[in-house]
Amino acid sequence: MPETKQAAAARAAKQGFKKSSLVKGQKGWYIAPHGVTGKWRNMYADLRDQGMPAERAAKITHSQMEGLNVMHEGNYQFIAFDLVEVPAVEDARLTYNAKENTLTGTCADLLKETRNGNLYDEELWQNVFESEDFRERVANGGIIGELGHPADRNETDLTKSAIVMKEQPIVRDGKLEAKFHLLDTEYGRKAKELLEAGINLGISSRGVVYGKEESK
C-alpha cells in the first residue's frame, strides 16, 4: 500500500533500506526493492500505483531490467498490441475509420524509449515478425488485442478482446505502422463508443523478456 513519505522513510530505515530507495508514485510513497535504481524506481512505483503487490511489481521490474541485456538474444516474446488512451498528439493516436471499422497508425516507435525506459528497435521487431509464433498467429487469423493494458498478467484474455491485427506492421520513418480491425465483441463495441465520443486511443505493445536461465 502507498504511504506518506515519513512512514515510508521510517519503514525503510527499520528494514535496512537506504533513503535513496524511496520513490514517489501518484498515490503515495514506496520503497524500491534492492537493486532497483534510477528510472526503474519510477516503473516500480507505477506498478504499485496500479494496485500490484510489492513482490509481483519487484519481479516485473527486475525482469525488465534484465531484459535490456537479453532482448536482442531471441528472448523477447511478443504477446499483443492493446488499445489504451493516449494524449491528443499526432504520433500517438490512431485514425479511426468508421466505415471500415478499423484503426490505423503508429503502434511502436523504433527510435524512442518507452515509458518503462526500454528501446524496442527495428532489429528486435524484425526478430518478432520472423518468429514462428508470430507467423502462426497471423496465419490463424491475426493478433488479438485487448481494451486496456493488463498489468498483472502476460497472456491475452480472449473474453476481453477488442481488436485484431491481421497483417504484419510496416516500418516507416522510424515507426511501426499497422491496421487494426475492431471486433464485434463487448470490449470492441466499448472501444468504438470511446472513439465515437472523441477519446484518443493508441497502442501499447505487450511482451515478455526472459532471463538467460529461463530461456534455456
Q: How far apart are CA 182 and CA 180, in angstroms?
A: 7
Is 164's pLDDT higher than 80?
yes
Is 216's pLDDT higher than 50?
no
Residue 133 — φ and ψ, nearest 5°?
-60, -45
The three state secondary structure string of 135-150 is HHHHHCCCEEEEECCC
CA 78, 171, 144, 151 dihedral sign is: positive
pLDDT in tens, 188-213: 999 999 999 999 999 988 876 554 33
Domain ranges of the chain: 5-69, 77-209
Q: How far apart are CA 89 and CA 112, in angstroms?
A: 15
Please tell me the predicted confidence (pLDDT) of residue 214.
36
Confidence band (pLDDT; 50, 70, 90) for 101?
very high
Cell of 164: 485484431
Q: How many CB atoms lie within 10 A of CB 127?
A: 17
Average pLDDT of span 3-23: 92
Please tell me the predicted confidence (pLDDT) of residue 70.
45
Taking Cα atoms as reference points, which of 123, 86, 120, 118 lies closest to residue 103?
86
pLDDT in tens, 108-153: 888 776 766 666 778 788 888 988 888 999 999 999 999 998 877 7
Element at 55 (helix H, strand E): helix 54-70
Q: How many CB atoms lie within 10 A of CB 212?
A: 11
Cell of 78: 511478443
Global pTM reads: 0.63
Cell of 156: 491475452
Please tell me the predicted confidence (pLDDT) of residue 98.
95
Q: How far is CA 156 from CA 10, 51, 53, 178, in A?
A: 40, 20, 21, 19
Measured in whole angstroms, the distance separating CA 187 from the mean position of its chain's CA atoms is 18
DSSP strand pairing (143-146 vs 102-109): unpaired
Angle formed at CA 87 by CA 32 and CA 156, multiple of 5 degrees: 65
Is 71's pLDDT higher than 70?
no
Please tell me the predicted confidence (pLDDT) of residue 92.
66
Cell of 71: 532482448
Please tell me the predicted confidence (pLDDT) of residue 35.
87
